Amino acid sequence: MSFRTVKYKRLLTSGLIISLLTIVSCKSYKEQESHLPDTPYRGTIHVSADESFKPIIDQQVQVYEARNAGTHIIVHYKPEAECLKDLFVDSIRMVIATRKHSVQENNFLTDSFKLGMRSMVLAWDGISVIVHPSSADTILRMQDIRDILTGRHKKKLIPVFDGVKATSTVRFVIDSVLRGDSLTPDAMAARSSEGVIDYVSKNPGVIGFIGVEWIGNPEDTAQISFLKKVKVVNLESTDIPGGFVKAYQANIYLKRYPMVRDLVYILKENYRGLGTGFANFMSGEIGQMIFRRSYLAPAQKNFGIRPVKLNE
């Protein structure tokens, strides 16, 4: 037998082995997938999401379900602290909030449920400040904001939030703006971000704090109607001396706006299920484009920044 014949038989044998392994592997994966409760293309999952992000998460779910007809993503909108408690609720597959999970939270879930977590920053948004249409307070320094939040401001404007406890907006204000100082006991709570807009539009002596995704998209008819009810405040820029800016997309992306926060998913899934599919979608091209078109700043894809003017 010639050397060429031996070599040919070895190559043929190797090719057959590889082909058989590939067939077995594919069959094994399909069989495994058929026994999973859900996949990226079929099934139902429950997601707990910060109420601040409802407009943009609703869009993400709508597009994902339209592209994957066999899927159903049920989102429960709550204050952020309640969402984070849901990390330890079996029925909740994903949490959408403004921070990643902690090492302690991951260790507890691993020890108790034998299930780890992974998280990713999807986008950045800004906390917009809104006032009554008659208000002259449309340009404020961050010291003014701190004085308003602590009750020391000379005009005694009353801050209004989407809840005075447990919300991501309140947590951001306490952690990143007040930094150890106390929030005034006069602070008021609306039932939702939309409730904040409605209350501010009817009361000249208050000042509202909401996520920009509620008023930042001039192509959304609901947000256009909101902008007719209130004024959006210009805040002291972080990098333009003497400059004041609004929570425009470019200012959020460049961190020029002083109150920028993360939008994060935390996923609890130890297989390639619907949660993984939805997470990959939001961090992928289409999901990131949805964030961009909603005038948030995408964190996982580089896009050109869209110019936009709020209530001017």
CA distances (Å), 261 to each of 4, 43, 53, in order? 66, 32, 12
The sign one gets for the Cα dihedral 201, 205, 206, 207 is positive
User: What's residue 29's pLDDT?
Assistant: 46
Say what the pLDDT of residue 305 is. 59
The pLDDT value recorded for residue 34 is 66
Bridge partners (DSSP) of residue 232 are 130
Res 267: pLDDT = 97
Query: pTM of this prediction?
Result: 0.84
Q: Looking at the chain, which residues constitute the CATH 3.40.190.10 domain(s)?
A: 42-124+261-298, 126-259
Segment-wise mean pLDDT, segments of 10 residues, the chain, 312 residues: 50 50 50 78 97 95 97 96 94 96 91 89 96 95 97 95 86 93 94 93 96 84 86 94 91 94 96 97 97 93 63 48
Helix (H, G, I), strand (E, B) or coil at 236: strand
- CATH 3.40.190.10 assigned to 42-124+261-298: yes
Q: What is the pLDDT of residue 302?
A: 84
| pLDDT on residue 27 | 47
Residue 86, pLDDT score: 96
CATH code matching the domain that covers 126-259, chosen among 3.40.800.10, 3.40.190.10, 3.30.450.40, 3.30.70.600:
3.40.190.10
